[in-house]
Amino acid sequence: MAQVSEEREDRVDATGEEPAGAPGTPGVVPAASETGEASRLSAAGTAAAGTPAAAESVPEAKKASKAGRNLPAAIGVALLLGAAIIVSLLTVRFLFIGIIAIAIAVGTFEFAGVLRRVADIRVAMIPVLVGGQAMIWLAWPFGREGALTAFVLTVLACLLWRLPGGAKGYLRDISASTFAAAYLPLFGAFAAMLVPPPDGVGRVLTFLIGVVASDTGGYIAGVLGGKHPMAPTISPKKTWEGFGGSLVGGVLAGALTLSLLLDGHVWQGVIFGVAIVLTATLGDLVESLIKRDLGVKDMGTLLPGHGGIMDRLDSLLPSAVVSWLLLSAFVPVG
């Protein structure tokens, strides 16, 4: 989520493919029977493109694409998701664990589906789904011991589940299943562990506001002044200017939320904000690299303007781990 404008790139960049019909695109062949009239029309169109009106439209198009592919839809979906989270936290805060569990299950379906369609990699779905839910819900009463125990049992179940499929692709499928179990539910369990303490609402809000502020700061800075690519071979639209905006937003959010919501110190909030920006950015880059490796634009299409659930979890998942670690150290549970 960090630096959305940079990360939610043209989506052509994400796959490294040229647009349909672009020069050099395989399978695009000029019509062999192009008439002289068609040639004249083409020449006229080229000349018209050089008029002031056409020249003025080009910067506008580039400016629009830089802001995102469907900004109103993205904002609307973000507001709905945010409202659901706020309502759950302010009513029965443990409902937030249910939201995490649903998001992780959907994200697992998306991830496994992409792996199967694109690379013929078969995640052990039943063990990963069941074990993933066990990690999240056991993290509620038993903390990290419950989550880690469920993770180990999930990996063992994946090893057994895949045995009937034979030796071909066994290591590949088990590796993907283990990665899916760690990247999604195990990381998600750390977000669930923020909820049970008496000040759990403040902990969850500190975590979420930090990621959102990093995201928003990166978006604004990237759109307004992003010029220097941060990782051009991974995410061409992610810039150092956007990263600077993420740092400003994340540090401000960390200093305010940790001191006001959790009675921590401002310096602790600054450290927390920097850590969240780093992990959120790392999460973005990791998922960009995964999608580039698989040659896909998005992990799903469930959320208009965003892609899939996995495209929203990319920066949240690693940030949840760091949030739990730092908040446990800075504001120990009494």
Q: Is residue 49 part of a domain?
A: no
Q: What is the pLDDT of residue 10?
A: 43
- Number of other residues whose CB lies within 10 A of the CB of residue 95: 16
Q: How far apart (Å, rounded) are the C-alpha atoms in residues 227 and 69?
A: 19
The confidence band for 237, taking pLDDT boundaries of 50, 70 and 90, is confident
Q: Residue 210: is its pLDDT beyond 80?
A: yes
Q: Does 289 have pLDDT greater than 60?
A: yes
Does 104 score more than 50 pLDDT?
yes
Number of H helices, E strands in the chain: 13, 2
- Residue-range definition of the domain harbouring residue 113: 91-196
Query: In the predicted model, what is the mean pLDDT of residues 248-268?
Result: 96
The model's pLDDT over 72-102, given as tens digits with 9 standing for 90+, comes to: 766 777 788 788 888 888 888 999 999 999 9
Mean of all residue pLDDT scores within the chain: 82
pLDDT (average), residues 48-72: 47
> What is the per-residue pLDDT for 15?
41
pLDDT tier at 69, thresholds 50, 70, 90:
low
Instruction: Give yes or no for residue 298 having a pLDDT over 90.
Output: no
Note the pLDDT of residue 17: 42
Q: What's the full length of the chain, in residues? A: 334
Q: Residue 304 has what DSSP assignment?
A: T
Are 170 and 270 part of one and the same domain? no
Cβ atoms 313, 103 nearer than 8 A: yes
The one-letter code for the residue type at 324 is: W
Largest pairwise CA distance in the chain: 83
* CA–CA distance, 227 with 242 (Å, rounded to integer): 9
Does residue 8 register a pLDDT over 50? no
Q: Note whether 102 and 176 are same-domain residues.
A: yes
Same domain, yes or no: 251 and 329: yes
- Model's pTM, two decimal places? 0.76
Nearest 5°: the CA angle 79, 199, 259 is 80
Answer whether residue 61 is part of any domain.
Answer: no
108-114: long-range contacts, CB 8 A cutoff, minimum separation 24: 108/132, 108/180, 108/184, 108/185, 110/299, 110/300, 110/302, 110/308, 110/309, 110/310, 111/180, 111/183, 111/184, 111/299, 111/310, 112/180, 113/300, 114/294, 114/296, 114/299, 114/300
| Per-residue pLDDT reduced to its tens digit, 31-45 | 444 444 444 444 444
270: its two tokens: 């600054």
- Return the pLDDT at 150: 98
Domain count, the chain: 2
Contact yes or no for 173/165 (Cβ under 8 A):
yes
Higher pLDDT, 117 or 73: 117
30 within some domain: no
Q: Which of 143, 178, 196 is the last residue of a domain?
A: 196
Query: Measured in whole angstroms, how far is the alpha carbon of residue 264 from the centre of its chain?
Result: 29
| pLDDT (average), residues 7-16 | 42
